[in-house]
Structure 1
C-alpha cells in the first residue's frame, strides 16, 4: 500500500518532504489521535504523514498551499481514508472558525505538520492568536527553532519566541530528526515539538497586544538593558514596580516578569 507519492520539491516554498518511515511512525505515535479528534495537518506535502494519520484515524483535514499537490493528494488519499483539503495559505486560515466547524462539541482542533523553515515563526504566532481553539500542536521544525521555543532565562537562545510561546503554551521538545529523513535533505537537523495551550484561567496576560509590544521591544536589541530597550514603552519606575531590574537584559527575565510588567502597563 502506498504511503506517499513523488513530486519534485519547490525550493522557493521551502519544501523538504519527509520519507523516513520510522520517524513518521514516531510522529503518529506522539500525536496518538483518538476517535472524535479533529486533526488538522499543515502542509501535507506528498502525504508522508497524512496517509498514516488517515489510516490510523480515518478522517483528516489538511491545509496545502502548493496547488500542484492538491490533485495527487486527493487521489492517493482515497485508499487510506477521508481527506478534506483546504487550498491556500495557512496564515489566512481562521483556526477558530475551523474549530467551530470541525469540533463544535469539544471545541478544539489538534494541529500537526512539518512546517516550512522559512514560515515556522509566522505560523506559530498565527496559531497563538487562536490558542483557545487548539487542544495541542505537534510540529516538526528546524532543531534550533525548537531549542529557542523551549529555552529558559539565561540561555543564549532564549528570546521573543520563547517568551511568547511559553506565556500561552506548555512547550515540550520530543525528538531530533536527522537531515536524511527528508528529500531533499536539508543542511540542518530538525526536531519534533509538542505545544499544549494552557487553560484560559492559567494565562495571566491581561492585554495580549501590550504584552506582545513589551516582549518585542525588550528583545529588539538584545545587548541593551531593559532601561534602554524599553525606552518609550516603559519607564524605570514601571520596570522596578514589576519587580525587575532596569539594568538587566531581556534574556535574564523570566516569562512571569514580562507578564507582570505588561499587566502593570495595561492597567496604567
Structure 2
C-alpha cells in the first residue's frame, strides 16, 4: 500500500479522551496544563452557590472540569467545533456543562445571564484579547466580574497608571468601567504548546453605573481613541476636531500635555464637556 493511502496518514492524533494532541495555531490555542496554576485560578474565582459562570474558550477542559467539580454547572463558549464532543463527554462525570459553539464576539453576554449577572472566566486567545475585552465592556452591566488569563504585557497595559510607557487607550477604557487587579503571573511552561511570552491572570470588576460618571459613553470612547491615536502629539493637536482649547481649559488640562499624562478622571471630565452628537 502506498504511503498516500496508508491507514491513519490523514488522521489527527488524539488522546484517550478524544481531544486532538496538537493545538490549532490559527486559532491561537495554548492549552493550560499546570495543576498548580489551575488551582490558583479556581481559588481566585471562588465560585459560590447561585453563580452563573460563563467560560470563554474552554479548550480541552483544563479549567472547565475543576470549576464543574467545585460549582456543578457552567456555560462555555467554544469556537472550535472539534472540541465540542470530547469536551461534553469529559464533563459528564463532573457536572452540567452547557456548550455554545460560537465566536465569542457574536455572543450577547447580557442575554446569557437572564435576570442575573454572569461571571466571565477564560484563558483568552492572545490574538483576540483586546476585542474580547472591549466586547465585555459593552455588556459590563450584565457582568459581575471577570477572571482572564492574558499575555502578561496586556495585563500590564490594562492596569497601567498615568505616565507609564504602557498606559494607553486600553488602560483608560478598562479602568473607567472596571476595577482592574493583576493577580499572578504564569510561565510559558504551564501551557501546551508553550507560548513565547509570559502570561498573567487578572480580575476585572465592573463599576456600579452611578459611580462611573460618564455622560456619553460613545463620546468618551471617541475622546480617548483620538487622544492616543498619535501618542507623540499634544492634546491640542491630537484632539483637533474632537475637543477645542476652551474645553481643555474648562477641564483644567494643559493643551500642550500628552494623552499619557491624563488620569482616567481627566478623560471623563473632558468628555463630559462635549455635547453628545
- TM-score bracket, normalised by the shorter chain, equals over 0.9
Who is 1:199 aligned against?
Answer: 208
SS in 1 for 2:233: coil
Do the aligned residues in 1 keep the contact of 2:19 with 2:86 (CA within 8 Å)? Answer: no
Residues 121 and 148, structure 2, Cα contact 8 Å, conserved in 1: yes
Instruction: Note if 1:210 corresponds to 2:219.
Output: yes
2:45 matched to which residue of 1? 31
Which consecutive unaligned segments of at least 5 residues does structure 1 have?
A: none
- Unaligned 5+ runs, structure 2: 1-14
Q: Contact 1:150–1:173 (CA<8 Å) still a contact in 2? A: yes
Matches of 2:237 and 2:209 in 1, distance apart? 33
Off by >4 Å, runs of 4+ in structure 1:
none
Does 2:250 align with 1:250? no
**Aligned match of 1:20:** 34
Partners of 1:49 and 1:185 in 2: CA distance: 17
> Equivalents in 1 of 2:216, 2:111: separation in Å?
22
Q: Is the 8 A contact 2:59 2:83 kept in 1?
A: yes
Q: Which moved more, 1:257-266 or 1:158-167?
A: 257-266
Q: Distance in 2 between matches of 1:127 and 1:205?
A: 17
SS in 2 for 1:264: coil
In structure 2, the CA distance between the partners of 1:5 and 1:171, relative to structure 1 (3 Å rule), is farther
Question: TM-score w.r.t. structure 1 length?
Answer: 0.95
Please state whether the residue corresponding to 2:274 is helix, strand or coil: helix
Q: How far 1:6 sits from its partner (Å)?
A: 3.9
Q: Distance in 2 between matches of 1:262 and 1:9?
A: 44
Alignment pair present for 1:132 and 2:132: no
Match of 1:62 in 2: 76
How far has the Cα of 1:76 moved from its partner? 0.6
C-alpha displacement of 1:5? 6.3
Partners of 1:266 and 1:144 lie apart in 2 by: 36
Distance 2:19 2:38 in 1: 16
Tell whether the 8 Å contact from 1:5 to 1:47 is kept in structure 2 after alignment: no
The secondary structure found in structure 2 opposite 1:257 is: helix
1:158 to 151, 157, 167: 167
Q: How many residues align?
A: 262
Work out whether 1:119 is the aligned partner of 2:128. Answer: yes
Q: Which residue of 2 aligns with 1:178?
A: 187
Deviation at 1:240, TM superposition (A): 1.3
What is the TM-score when the length of structure 2 is the normalising length? 0.92
Question: Aligned partners of 2:117 and 2:257: how far apart in 1?
Answer: 39
Query: CA offsets, 1:199-231, max 9 Å, x none?
Result: 111111101000000000000000000000001
Partner Cα separation in structure 1 for residue 276 and residue 230 of structure 2: 26
Q: Which residue of 1 aligns with 2:158?
A: 149
